[in-house]
Amino acid sequence: MTQNASPPYRFGNLLALARQSWIEQVRERMQEAGFPGYRRSDATVFGRLLQRPLAIGQLGEALSITRQAARQLADGLVERGYASFGTDDADARRTIVVLTPRGEAYGRAIWMAQDALNAIVRSRVSEADLVAADAVLRAVFSGDARQRLDERMPPPREP
């Protein structure tokens, strides 16, 4: 019996390993920038909070997590000195998560680290390869997640 010389392609495994490598590279850059303790959810969280302060419920909705999980995440930001809690002017019962100046600097440093990594990737492959990779990654999404992705990050144009 002859065995297939090449094992089946495992896209999900490669995707997971690439994500893990990306997070580690951002973590290293954040450490170098004076911000130790980068967490894998930080890029998404700070991307939202840099736009505007959010109520706990809004943060949970934006991250597709429960209100309880959003509260735990916000508590962690406060403990790390990156955010504080405020109240909504329109509804004093709502707790708002507001970035501190250090939190704003941290968020900007995350985006700078990711921009630098994006530039490295762009230098390693052709524009056509990037467009193809984008199409493959978008194929992983389905339903509402795909629609939200396309709204937040439209696909690139062909080179």
Question: Looking at this protein, which amino acid is placed at residue 151?
Answer: E
Residue where the block lists tokens 């000195």: 81
Residue 89 CA to residue 32 CA, distance in Å, equals: 38
Partner residues linked to 97 by β-bridges: 54, 85
Helix, strand or coil for residue 46? helix
Residue 147 CA to residue 153 CA, distance in Å, equals: 10
Higher pLDDT, 110 or 63: 110
Structure tokens at 42: 């930080």
- Has this prediction a pTM greater than 0.75? yes
Q: What is the pLDDT of residue 4?
A: 63
Rg for the chain (alpha carbons), in Å? 19
Tell me which CATH code domain 11-152 carries: 1.10.10.10
Average pLDDT score over the chain: 91
Q: What is the pLDDT of residue 44?
A: 92
**What is the domain partition of the chain in residue ranges?**
11-152
Q: What is the pLDDT of residue 37?
A: 93
- The per-residue pLDDT for range 52-70, each reduced to its tens digit, is 999 999 999 988 899 999 9
- What percent of the chain lies above the pLDDT cut of 70? 96
Residue 16 CA to residue 152 CA, distance in Å, equals: 22
